[in-house]
Amino acid sequence: MKKLVPLLIALLGLVLVIAAFVVWFEPPKDGGVFSTAGSIILFLSGLGTSIKGWMDVFKKDEPANNVKQELINRSETSTPIQAQTVNIYQTVPNSQSQIPNHQSLKNTLPQQLYFFGRTKELEIIASALSHESRTWGALIDGPGGIGKTALAIKAAHDAPAELFERKIFITAKVRELNADGEAKLTDFTRPTYLAMLDELGKELGADGLEKLAPNERPNELRLALAGKKALIIFDNLETLPEEERTRLFQFLSRLPEGNKAIVTSRRRTDVDARIVRLDRLARDEALQLITELAAKYSRLARASQKEREDLYEITQGNPLFIRWIAGQLGREGSQCRTIAEACAFIDKAPKGNDPLEYIFGDLLETFTTDETKVLATLTYFSLPAKLKWIADMTNLPERAAETALEDLTDRSILTSDLPAQTYFLPPLTAKFIRTRRPEAVTQTGDALTNRATDLIEQYGKVNNLEGFRTLDAEWEFISAALPRIRQGDEYQQAVLIDLIDFLKFTDRWDEWLRLLTLAEANAVAANDKENAGIRAIEAGLAYQNRNQFAEMLECAFRAVELLQDSAPEKKAVAIQFRGFAHMQNKNYSATITAYREALEIDRFISPERDNVALDLNLLANAERANKDYPTAERDYREALRIAKIIKNDEGIANYTGNLASLALDREQWAEAESFAREALALAEKVGRQELIAADCDRLAIALLKQSSNLDESLSMSRRAVEIFTRLRMQDNLQEAQETLAEIERAMQKSE
């Protein structure tokens, strides 16, 4: 019917065209409208009418085509991740109201097969995510379990693909709703501002973010977001301290153009975003949810309309409570076989008590022995746990453990990725199991600790690269045991120290520092000041790697204090490290004082040995930085003299190169060239690549400043850049690249 009118218009146009031809070839004798001019007008009118009609006939139905394309876009899926909220994303078979998958290859949003209501809220969020909106996105707030996370995920799925190439979900969920407010949990994922940023960095491919100082990470991540067109969900921000929430909102206010965020929190905050206040589900929306759940739970399906309305009233329209009650109906041995019984059961809780405590109290007696074991095991994991880990900790055959896990999943007690065979126990449930089945939790915790300790002891030895790979593959399992091991006996804590080299090797900087701090504290408690001092120095070096020089200096002062009664040589090392820390903080006067003190101790031990030469070289570096060039030259030459006496070829190469750098600082170009050539030959003999690169760069600068032999200068500079690039020495590489650019400009001018 839509095509009939255009078709008639097209045919009418053809008739007019034919009539025009007739008039043209046989015009009437009396002229009039059928004159030659009239036939031309008739022809043009008919032709235009016909063309317009035929175009309308064959015109594609654009709205339908757009809908089709939208359905195609929404059908693209990616590998799902585990849902972070209790049973909120559970697959519901045979559902008539399932929402199609919206995920793409760059989408880490949890699956969401159905969603009801919240139309107004979705419109507000969609407006906030549009390019026209000048906010960073939307903040959803409201009480626990009310559906903030579900709304955020729905809004993110609905966000147009042309606006966002990436959709990322990150949660800091550590609390769940009690009748009287919040119940604190301690073991969940991404519980801090920095942990959330690190996770976002991994999603964006910004590897190594956690190696940076905490105050450097936000800007580095902001730069990584430039041009990404990412939509980020930061979930459950109420778990963060106020200062960290403020910092995260400051980060969001500086999102590069094209990026947006959706934040969920129980706390209401005034921010530069659209605020969505979320309350209970409306009655009809909650009844739709109950109808959807009834497709899975037969006893709920048999409930009357009145009983379903009672369920809504008792739960106050809280989606999380509704889902939990529905999941428990009909379980063999349960006292809750009808909605009325379940509602009556919840009603027994006095005001101020947690109703979930009563729900779990009823279910607790229905758990089989195997189910209790796997639940107790899962309380230790803040990330989805592998089936193999659970079977090992419970001493169950894998098939028996899998059966128990599948039964618990069916009852909405835990979430699972069955194809991947990983399982996750929500924090509130984990807390309940810990308090009500402490014996089982302790038993499985002992198994976890013993297994993790064995792995560390077997594979954590120094420079055990193959062993490090094994530990890396099992890290999530080991990290679950670390809190217990840290609080364990002396043997367990001693084994834990074996992880220090592994953590450094695998760039787990945060845990490395935490473990070094623990090792230092344990040594102090044992009155082992020497070992404590060494750990303080190692921690200081870790802070140096992260450019946290103030913290590095604190470690240095502790090391000096701890090692003050040690052997003179170790005391000198601590003082030397204090000088090194002052150097990083650019306090050259304090650096020189510390280095001279260390030099005096080492000279007292033996006046001409390697440590003395090293002290002199470090002292000369500080004097050079302080622009005391004559004194620096004296100390460099003395270090070189001692190195030649003790035949330390590497030291000779190093100190000669430093004399070349000093000559460059003093603009003594010819002398710098001479020292650089000598140092380069020595470095090549030793084979130290970083020394070779540094000497090539020095020689290139010396030749450039003399405006002589620019071809050799260019060759040396390119060699320096190549070596520094291969060694990933970024600071040195940047300086070498600047030298290369200056040489290339000089050569262009000379042409």
Q: What is the CATH number of the domain that holds 481?
A: 1.10.10
In sequence order, which residues have a C-beta less than 8 Å from that of residue 395 and are 6 or more positions away? 447
Q: Considering all CA atoms of the chain, what is the largest pairwise distance in Å, rounded to the nearest integer?
A: 134
- If you average pLDDT over residues 90-114, what whole number do you get? 54
The answer to whether the CB of 540 falls within 8 A of the CB of 559 is yes
- If you average pLDDT over residues 293-322, what whole number do you get? 80
Looking at the DSSP bridge assignments, the partners of residue 137 are 261
Secondary structure E strands in 312-414: 385-386
Do 129 and 267 fall into the same domain?
yes
Q: pLDDT tier at 749 (50, 70, 90 boundaries)?
A: confident
Phi/psi of residue 339, nearest 5 degrees: -60, -40
Residue 743 has pLDDT above 60, yes or no: yes
Q: Is residue 574 part of a domain?
A: no
Per-residue pLDDT at 360: 53
Per-residue pLDDT at 192: 87
- If you average pLDDT over residues 720-731, what whole number do you get? 88
Lowest mean pLDDT among 32-46, 295-309, 445-459, 588-602: 32-46
- In a 10 Å sphere around its CB, with 0-12 CB exposed, 13-18 middle and 19+ buried, how is residue 332 labelled? exposed
Residue 446 DSSP SS3: helix
Residues of the chain with pLDDT > 90, as a percent, come to 32
Distance of alpha carbon 110 from alpha carbon 267, whole angstroms: 23
Residue 63 has pLDDT above 60, yes or no: no
Do 266 and 391 fall into the same domain?
no
Secondary structure E strands in 266-372: 274-277
- If you average pLDDT over residues 375-386, what whole number do you get? 89
Residue 545 has pLDDT above 90, yes or no: no
Boundary (domain end) residue, out of 349, 376, 407: 349
Residue 18 has pLDDT above 80, yes or no: no
Residue 724 has pLDDT above 80, yes or no: yes
Residue 48 has pLDDT above 60, yes or no: yes
Position 608: which residue type? E
Angle between helices 427-436 and 355-364 (to 10 degrees): 60
Per-residue pLDDT at 349: 45
Q: What DSSP line would sit under 277-326, residue for residue? A: E--PPPHHHHHHHHHHHHTT-HHHHT--HHHHHHHHHHHTT-HHHHHHHH
Do 126 and 18 fall into the same domain?
no
Domain span at residue 323?
A: 283-349
Phi/psi of residue 505, nearest 5 degrees: -65, -35
Lowest mean pLDDT among 250-264, 407-421, 477-491: 407-421
Query: In whole angstroms, how far apart are CA 187 and each of 383, 481, 705?
Result: 10, 12, 61
Do 268 and 313 fall into the same domain?
no
Do 501 and 479 fall into the same domain?
yes
Beta pairing class for 422-424 and 385-386:
antiparallel
- Tokens representing residue 421 in the block: 């065979």
- If you average pLDDT over residues 678-707, what whole number do you get? 92
- Tokens representing residue 267 in the block: 């706390």
The answer to whether the CB of 167 falls within 8 A of the CB of 231 is yes
Find, among 127, 378, 404, the residue nearest to 273 by Cα: 127
Do 414 and 292 fall into the same domain?
no
Q: Is residue 556 part of a domain?
A: no
586-597 confidence digits (pLDDT tens) = 999 999 999 999
Residue 496 has pLDDT above 80, yes or no: no
Count the neighbouring beta carbons within 10 Å of the beta carbon of residue 341: 15
Q: Is residue 707 part of a domain?
A: no
The answer to whether the CB of 281 falls within 8 A of the CB of 250 is no
Per-residue pLDDT at 667: 93
Find, among 277, 321, 289, the residue nearest to 428 by Cα: 321
Distance of alpha carbon 659 from alpha carbon 657, whole angstroms: 5
Residue 191 has pLDDT above 90, yes or no: no
Do 50 and 88 fall into the same domain?
no
Q: pLDDT tier at 616 (50, 70, 90 boundaries)?
A: very high
Q: Is residue 38 part of a domain?
A: yes
Residue 84 has pLDDT above 60, yes or no: no
Do 86 and 217 fall into the same domain?
yes
Per-residue pLDDT at 151: 94
Per-residue pLDDT at 172: 86
Please give the residue that has the higher pLDDT: either 545 or 225.
225
Lowest mean pLDDT among 16-30, 203-217, 474-488, 553-567: 16-30
Lowest mean pLDDT among 27-31, 260-264, 675-679: 27-31
Residue 103 has pLDDT above 70, yes or no: no
The average confidence (pLDDT) of the chain is 79
SS3 per-residue string spanning 104-138: CCCECCCCCCCCCCCHHHHHHHHHHHCCCCCCCEE
Q: Is residue 388 part of a domain?
A: yes
Per-residue pLDDT at 186: 55
The reported pTM is: 0.47
- In a 10 Å sphere around its CB, with 0-12 CB exposed, 13-18 middle and 19+ buried, how is residue 129 labelled? buried
Do 223 and 149 fall into the same domain?
yes
The answer to whether the CB of 501 falls within 8 A of the CB of 460 is yes
Lowest mean pLDDT among 388-397, 538-547, 555-564: 538-547
Residue 140 DSSP SS3: strand
Per-residue pLDDT at 336: 63
Please give the residue that has the higher pLDDT: either 566 or 64.
566
Q: pLDDT tier at 33 (50, 70, 90 boundaries)?
A: very low
Distance of alpha carbon 580 from alpha carbon 618, whole angstroms: 8
In sequence order, which residues have a C-beta less than 8 Å from that of residue 103 and are 6 or more positions away? 76, 77, 78, 80, 109, 111, 157, 167
Do 261 and 397 fall into the same domain?
no
Residue 159 has pLDDT above 90, yes or no: yes
Q: Is residue 695 part of a domain?
A: no
Distance of alpha carbon 738 from alpha carbon 490, whole angstroms: 53
- Tokens representing residue 69 in the block: 């394309």
- Nearest-Å Rg of the Cα atoms of the chain is 37
Per-residue pLDDT at 76: 35
Do 98 and 237 fall into the same domain?
yes
Q: pLDDT tier at 152 (50, 70, 90 boundaries)?
A: very high
Residue 400 has pLDDT above 80, yes or no: yes
Give me the CATH number covering residue 113.
3.40.50.300
Do 387 and 442 fall into the same domain?
yes
Find, among 353, 427, 4, the residue nearest to 178 by Cα: 353
Distance of alpha carbon 692 from alpha carbon 674, whole angstroms: 15
Per-residue pLDDT at 94: 36
429-455 confidence digits (pLDDT tens) = 777 788 778 889 999 988 988 888 888
Boundary (domain end) residue, out of 349, 382, 397: 349
Boundary (domain end) residue, out of 486, 507, 528: 507
Per-residue pLDDT at 504: 77
Distance from the Cα of residue 330 to its chain's centroid:
41
Count the neighbouring beta carbons within 10 Å of the beta carbon of residue 152: 26
- Tokens representing residue 413 in the block: 């007690």
Q: Is residue 153 part of a domain?
A: yes
Start-end of H helices in 397-486: 398-410, 427-436, 438-459, 465-473, 475-486
Phi/psi of residue 137, nearest 5 degrees: 150, -135
Q: Is residue 498 part of a domain?
A: yes
Lowest mean pLDDT among 113-127, 162-176, 407-421, 660-674: 407-421
Number of separate domains in the chain:
4
- If you average pLDDT over residues 361-390, what whole number do you get? 84
